[in-house]
Homo-oligomer: A and B are copies of this chain.
Amino acid sequence: MINVTVWNEYWHEKNEEEVIKIYPEGIHNCIAGFLEKEDGISVRTATLDEPEHGLTDEVLNNTDVLIWWGHKFHTDVSDDIATKVHERVLRGMGFIALHSAHVAKPFLKLIGTSGSLKWRDNDFERLWVVSPGHPIVEGIDEYIELEREEMYGEWFDIPTPDELILLGWFSGGEVFRSGCCWTRGAGKVFYFQPGHESNPSYHIPQIQRIITNSIKWAAPKRILDELYCPHVPVSAEDLRKATGKAAK
């Protein structure tokens, strides 16, 4: 069983008419909704306004993969929680950064760059698969079309992705690295570009499929107990083993 926590800023869906129509229960519950239908995935949600943003030690310690959606209030996320999320990823937790989480605190701590990009509301996008054998795009055709999505354009200030899965084409003339994988510590990180709050991308089956696939990909193989720098003496037995047997 993969324990998923879907974290959402959850402001637009309570304050903006246009967004309320698309995500009346919030983006987190939309995502939790389609994930719950999957075998082998258990879902909970957490939001900015909850105590500790809903990410208590108990929650984090029982989360295998954390999905993150934030936009307008990145700076309201406490440094303490961002640090805890960061450390939990290094120890093995998967982290899926959605859309405007390109500048979310825990994501920036993980990638080490600014996450800068160009943007413009309401464009038409084609999402091209450029790594057809990757598990994150299992079941996805050559491309996905999004009739309305915010344009995110290069230069996108990210480290070279370990694996580049999707490239976005926008009708206004821009391109974007829209699906990017990194390993950080023992944890896996996926950035996925679609999901502006006023566009219905998370209702689209192919987008749901990619998010679901990414959770399975990011599920930890092990959780490290701690990250530290041990002093390691050489025992007599180690030395016996390590001593130039090549000469025999």
Q: Taking beta carbons and an 8 Å cutoff, which residues of A are in contact with B?
A: 87, 90, 92, 103, 109-114, 116-120, 122-124, 126, 128-135, 137-138, 142, 145, 151, 153-157, 159-160, 162-164, 167-175, 177, 182-188, 220-222, 224, 227-234, 236, 238-239, 241-248
B-side contacts of A231, CB under 8 Å: 118-120
Closest to A122 in B: B248
B-side contacts of A232, CB under 8 Å: 118-120, 151, 153, 174
Contact B116 A239 (CB under 8 A): no
- Which of B109, B116, B247 lies in contact with A229, CB distance below 8 A? B116
B-side contacts of A111, CB under 8 Å: 112
- Which of B103, B132, B175, B245 lies in contact with A128, CB distance below 8 A? B175
> A159: shortest Cβ distance to chain B, in Å?
6
Residue pairs across A and B with Cβ atoms less than 8 A apart, 30 shown, are A90-B113, A103-B229, A112-B159, A114-B185, A120-B231, A120-B234, A123-B246, A130-B156, A131-B160, A135-B221, A137-B221, A138-B222, A151-B246, A154-B167, A159-B162, A159-B183, A162-B163, A164-B164, A171-B244, A172-B238, A172-B239, A172-B244, A172-B246, A172-B247, A173-B234, A173-B238, A173-B242, A234-B244, A234-B246, A239-B247
B-side contacts of A129, CB under 8 Å: 154-155
Which has the most chain B C-beta neighbours within 10 Å: A128, A239, A246?
Answer: A246
